[in-house]
Amino acid sequence: MRNGSRISVIIPALNEEQSIGKVIDSLPNWVDEIIVADNGSTDGTARTAEQHGARVVREPRRGYGAACLAAMARLRDPEVVVFLDGDFSDFPEETALLVDPILSEEADLVIGSRVLGVREPGALTFQAQFGNWIACRLIHLIWNARYTDLGPFRAIRHSALVSLGMRDRDYGWTVEMQIKAAMRGMRVKEVPVSYRRRIGKSKVSGTVRGVVGAGVKILGTIFLASVGILSDTGREGQGERVIVFTRYPEAGKTKTRLIPAIGATGAANLHKSLTERAVAEAGRVRDRRGATVEIRYEGSESAIMAEWLGHDLDYREQESGDLGDRMFRAFEESLRGGFGRVVLFGTDLPGLSADIITRGLSELDRHDLVLGPARDGGYYLIGMKRPYPELFDSMEWSNAHVLSATLDRARGLGLSTTLLEPLNDLDRPEDLGRFAASQPPAAGLPESDLISVIVPSLNEGRNLLACLESVRSAGDVEIIVVDGGSSDDTVALAHAADVKVLVTDSGRGRQMNAGAAAASGGILLFLHADSVLPRSWNRLVRSALSEKGVSAGAFELGLNAESPAFRFIERAANFRSRTLQTPYGDQGIFLTREMFRQMGGFPEIPLMEDLELVRNLRKQGRIAIVPERISTSARRWRKLGVLRATLINQVLLAAYFLGIRPRVLSRWYNR
């Protein structure tokens, strides 16, 4: 501790094996917590960091900001958070220069300025100096805040950091922090720090691509903030957390009510299997939505739990007290620590899925309290946006009235409440039969090559039948229409067409995930309801997926309109798809069920769900673009005009790649 205050250090790192140990060893001994956020290193960075006493958080999705956000989610209640790079260009022994002004109440944010300090010749490249100067000058002109540097070595009060709602996942991290601090009138101080040549080659200033990318991102972040987009943080900036309550599977202390039926070892093994299943589903939610996952455990220690369940999760021991005390404390720490939506559940739930957990988080946009009813009278999941101790105090947790008592208390507090689908838990010998029936088939069985076509719809009565007819032209396929709440005759037409029909909440990502969950085929094709497939499309799909190194595929884009302008749009879209490997959803994305499962499905976001899935698929292999065109409605271009629609698309894409969240873009677009 420093002057009685807890200090945490975050070090984002990518292939810093040669330098990371030096950075950690040079930090003052009063630093309480060192987190190295490993951003997908292919060398021994993580191993070296752990050997030198740091806690390693793994964030495989590349991006400086992504690494920082992943580490922030795992902080353990610090007063001050320090950020520095892992390349040993900063001087960690100067950390007190940044921390002390915060502890003495002089500042909320302290930036280590390399411009004001002593620099080794060549340490700060010309392009870095020039980019810093332009960015700082613009910030001064727009917000009247004087900065000399965007240096990564900085310290900030933890409560101030949470209030900023940081969200940039790339090069714009430092400038976003400084802009938001200026906009909120925080006390900001710059102090001179020393700077030396880094160990190894810079990922930014060391390459032309890095310099250009960083420059575009930083200037783009300033522009978006100046027009009011970046300032729209709200609840989104606070993030989501999934908490899994469990214990270490020790024979004789786990699932004790099942011991008479299956023995102590059998009960422990069953609990182990259930926990691994629950954590895997939580991990899929993390991959879809960017939520953090925390394991609240008992009966062991964090290192052993991490060896069992993985090092990319946050581990905290459950507090003392009854179940209510422990759950409330978990909620309170997460909600007061900056998370805007939190759900908590146990592990004795064979039917729990990522879709259910995701719905629990989504319902918190509309309700104060979310409960998942268990069929024994309790609840298996609870979600909140604010801590309510009254829901947990003096509750009799072992009886069959926990759910009804909780609902009564919620009504007394004036809370809006919603229920998820009921599930059976597995706690008694009579529950074992249900668990056996819920197990997946044995591994090694051949996967069916049936193609399941999932068609999300919303008021598509005019287009749906043509779409379904083109699908049926291939012969034996499964067709699933997933409607998002149409007010026209879409659902009636789908039933009349004799296809499987599901109805869900609106949201294309959510609808497509629901369709995939109900599909029987080993190949999934996601088709917009206003699109028509080419002839022999099934042969093209199977052929593309059989190619070596292919992770997914799509068709070329064709628009059902006659005009040279539409031909230009088609050519541009198909050039983009082949060159950049980024087909969009209106091109009919297809992949195997197993690959879809590995990707965690579509992210359930208002916009760009197709692009986000494709970006993840590109990391797994090539995206095949088959040489036949899908015919897609040009109605949006007709309605808005070709030029206007194209400009809107490009602005949305640019904002998305600059790190603006899809929910913000959706609100902006709808306005």
Structure tokens at 330: 């978990």
Ordered DSSP codes for 325-390 = HHHHHHHHHHHHTT-SEEEEE-S--TT--HHHHHHHHHHTTT-SEEEEEBTTSSEEEEEESS--GG
- Is the pLDDT at 233 greater than 50? The verdict is no
Residue 619, φ and ψ in degrees, nearest 5: -75, -20
The percent of residues in the chain predicted with pLDDT above 90, rounded, is: 45
Structure tokens at 584: 């969009």
Q: What pLDDT, in 10s, does the model give residues 329-377?
A: 999 888 876 678 999 999 988 888 999 999 999 999 899 999 999 888 8
Ordered DSSP codes for 61-107 = S--HHHHHHHHHTT--S-SEEEE--SSS-S-GGGHHHHHHHHHTTS-
Cα distance between residue 548 and residue 5, in whole Å: 56
Fold of the 451-670 domain: Spore Coat Polysaccharide Biosynthesis Protein SpsA; Chain A (3.90.550)
Q: What pLDDT, in 10s, does the model give residues 5-22?
A: 999 999 999 999 999 999
3-state secondary structure of 37: strand
**CB proximity list for 151: less than 8 A, separation 6 or greater:** 111, 112, 113, 114, 174, 193, 195
User: Considering only 101-105, 144-148, 233-237, 462-466, which range has the smallest mean pLDDT?
Assistant: 233-237
Helix, strand, coil percent content, the chain, rounded in steps of 5 = 45, 20, 40
Q: 3.40.1190.20, 3.30.70.270, 3.90.550.10, 3.30.390.30: which CATH number matches 7-231?
A: 3.90.550.10
Q: What pLDDT, in 10s, does the model give residues 277-307?
A: 899 899 888 877 878 899 999 999 888 888 8
Question: Residue ranges per domain, the chain?
Answer: 7-231, 237-438, 451-670
- Is the pLDDT at 640 greater than 80? The verdict is no
Q: 205, 199, 168, 174: which is closest to 63 by C-alpha?
A: 168
- Is the pLDDT at 495 greater than 90? The verdict is no
List helix spans (H) across 6-57.
20-26, 45-51
Structure tokens at 189: 């101080």
pLDDT band at 202; cut points 50, 70, 90: low
Its sign, for the CA torsion 465, 467, 473, 477, is negative
Ordered DSSP codes for 302-331 = HHHHHHHH-TTSEEEEPPSSSHHHHHHHHH
Q: Residue 229's pLDDT is what?
A: 55
237-438 and 451-670 share one fold: yes
**CB proximity list for 185: less than 8 A, separation 6 or greater:** none
Q: Which residues of 365-397 are buried (b: 16+ CB within 10 A; e: fewer)?
A: eebbbbbbbbebebbbbbbbbebbeebbeebee
- Is the pLDDT at 601 greater than 60? The verdict is yes
Fold of the 237-438 domain: Spore Coat Polysaccharide Biosynthesis Protein SpsA; Chain A (3.90.550)
Q: Residue 669's pLDDT is what?
A: 60
Q: Residue 537's pLDDT is what?
A: 93
